[in-house]
Amino acid sequence: MLPNEVIDSGTLNNLFFYIMMMGLLLVLAVFIRLKFKIFKKYFIPAALIAGVIGLGLGPYGLNLFSEAMVSTWGSLAGILISIVFAPMLLGMRKSDSKGKSKLMLRHLVYSYTASLLQIGVPLVVAALVIVPLFDLNEMFGTIIEVGWAGGHGTAAGMMEVYTDLGWAEGGSLAVTTATIAIVFGIISGVIMINHGVKKGYTSVVKSTEEIKGENKDDLINIENQKLNSKGTLNPDMVEGYAFHLGLISIAVIIGWFIQQFVTLFVTGIPLFPLAMIGGLIVNAIIMRTKYSVTIDKHTLNRIQGLALDFLVLGAVASIQIPVVINFALPLLIITAVSIALLLWYFYYLGPKFFPEEWFENAIVHYGAYSGVTAIGLMLLRTADPEMKTEAGQGFALRAPFYSPILGGGLITSIIPVLVVNSGALLIGLGAIGIVIILLIISHFTGLINIMPSRSVKLSRARSN
């Protein structure tokens, strides 16, 4: 049955005002980043700054923003995530990936390994230590992959799922882990790149001066400004952004119908991964017609980016501080475990997965699974300014086979449901078991070499 609630004008006016206040905070954050260079130095995005300001001015801070306003921002984040996910598979065309299958498979297995480890290890630690020690919900271990690999978008989208499963605190904790992860990922990533340059791990950048020189100005001069979308339709007929937003809307509607069907068998599946499947269906249909030229991927990316900025702002600003304080110690423990796990994943598995240019290939994943894809690409750009290595290409090629499933995809969204039905320990051990099987298969098929070897050095340079 389609939603048929009528929203009164007073509610709409309040919603309009709340969104305008988010816009004000975002502009304020932009000028703060422009003014204070430390935010630029550590690549802190304006949306995150705006969210922290909103949190400080909200009911748990100076109380200038009402509980109703901040709660609405949090609810908007849960809606915007569908707009972020729906266009992910829209506009995909057959690309020339000839000869890149092995590179793509390495990146794909490396991606699955990261997400499955972030599911499995925290669940096992939670089941054996944290849950019995602090008497917490078994779903506590799920917040790491949701917040770290999934990012703020997935964390915001999972708020309703956690509430429906009887653990309302889970949403705020997941957003908190996403905030911790993105700040940690950016700062530690920059430190690791500097360390990697000094140790000779990097293939392209050979001195720290090259890293500093790559920090671009946040203000782009007029002569360097470029168009970031293309017009595919006559503007006399329809505005291009409106048309692309319409395509996204169709994808979300298809996802909603899929959700209604799935709910007949399994409850708790959120809309956003299904909206991505809706986008895939729309893309499959339109790409088989002459109207495929109407889709501009850059325009979709702009709409996606707009939704993501407001999503991050709303998700961070609506964090429930009392909940975070109450869970501070178990949150600290599981965060420390996650940091150690990610560092092992980067420094130990990275060189084994990528025999050449290991640092660049691994750093893009490190950033993506401690923040979002944009952070991973930012770290890659810092280590490989002109994209001379194949890291970016391999990372991109694996996306259609990874993003719909893990790191915020379908499996991520159903893990809490599986934990409720089967227990954290069983699901955690299952995820770790899949990682072991993947590594063994990859080793014996010659994809990677997981056996220790004295001849393998971390500082392998890019072969010419």
Highest mean pLDDT among 62-66, 82-86, 117-121, 368-372: 117-121
Per-residue pLDDT, 57: 94
The answer to whether residue 424 scores a pLDDT higher than 90 is yes
Q: Where are the domains of the chain?
A: 9-92+99-216+240-444
Instruction: Confirm if 84 and 308 have CB atoms less than 8 A apart.
Output: yes
Per-residue pLDDT, 184: 87
Instruction: Confirm if 190 and 43 have CB atoms less than 8 A apart.
Output: yes
Per-residue pLDDT tens for 158-213? 888 898 899 989 988 998 998 888 888 888 888 898 888 888 888 877 776 666 54
Count Cβ atoms below 10 Å from residue 278 Cβ, excluding itself.
Answer: 28
Sequence-distant (6+) residues with CB within 8 A of 16 are none
The answer to whether residue 150 scores a pLDDT higher than 70 is yes
In this predicted model, which residue has the larger pLDDT, 455 or 425? Answer: 425
Per-residue pLDDT, 322: 87
Structure tokens at 81: 């995530």
Q: The whole model's pTM is what?
A: 0.76
Per-residue pLDDT tens for 273-289? 788 889 989 998 999 89
* 12-15 long-range contacts, CB within 8 A, separation 24+: 14/68, 14/72, 15/72
**How far, in Å, CA of 392 to CA of 378, rounded?**
11
- Please, what is the Cα angle at 258 between 256 and 263, to 5 degrees? 95
**How far, in Å, CA of 351 to CA of 142, rounded?**
28
pLDDT band at 425 (very low <50, low <70, confident <90, very high): very high
pLDDT band at 456 (very low <50, low <70, confident <90, very high): very low
**How far, in Å, CA of 175 to CA of 334, rounded?**
14
Count Cβ atoms below 10 Å from residue 40 Cβ, excluding itself.
Answer: 15
**How far, in Å, CA of 142 to CA of 118, rounded?**
8
**How far, in Å, CA of 303 to CA of 85, rounded?**
11
Q: What is the DSSP string of 88-119?
A: GGTT------TT-HHHHHHHHHHHHHHHHHHH
Per-residue pLDDT, 5: 64
What is the rounded average pLDDT of the residues 366-376?
80
**119, HSE (Cβ side, Cα atoms, 13 Å):** 30
Count Cβ atoms below 10 Å from residue 19 Cβ, excluding itself.
Answer: 15
Lowest mean pLDDT among 186-190, 219-223, 397-401: 219-223
For residue 252, CA distances in Å to 67, 191, 273, 389 come to 29, 40, 10, 36
Sequence-distant (6+) residues with CB within 8 A of 194 are 208, 211
Per-residue pLDDT, 431: 96
Query: Quick one: which of 368, 349, 447 has its CA closest to 408?
Result: 368
Per-residue pLDDT, 128: 96
Residue with tokens 């019995």: 132
Percent of the chain whose predicted confidence (pLDDT) is above 70 = 89
How far does Cα 461 stand from its chain's mean position?
30
Residue with tokens 């929203």: 7
**How far, in Å, CA of 51 to CA of 176, rounded?**
12
Instruction: Confirm if 188 and 355 have CB atoms less than 8 A apart.
Output: no
Give the CA radius of gyration of the chain.
Answer: 22
Structure tokens at 2: 């389609």
Residue with tokens 């590179």: 103
Percent of the chain whose predicted confidence (pLDDT) is above 90 = 36
**How far, in Å, CA of 379 to CA of 195, rounded?**
13
What's the chain's average pLDDT?
A: 84
Backbone conformation region of residue 317, classed left if phi is above 0, alpha if psi is from -120 to 50, else beta? alpha
- Give the length of the chain: 464
The answer to whether residue 452 scores a pLDDT higher than 60 is no
pLDDT band at 332 (very low <50, low <70, confident <90, very high): very high
Per-residue pLDDT, 324: 84
Residue with tokens 């008497």: 135
Residue with tokens 């002109």: 386
Query: Quick one: which of 85, 89, 122 has its CA closest to 339?
Result: 122
Phi–psi pair at 394, nearest 5 degrees: -65, -40
What is the rounded average pLDDT of the residues 24-43?
88
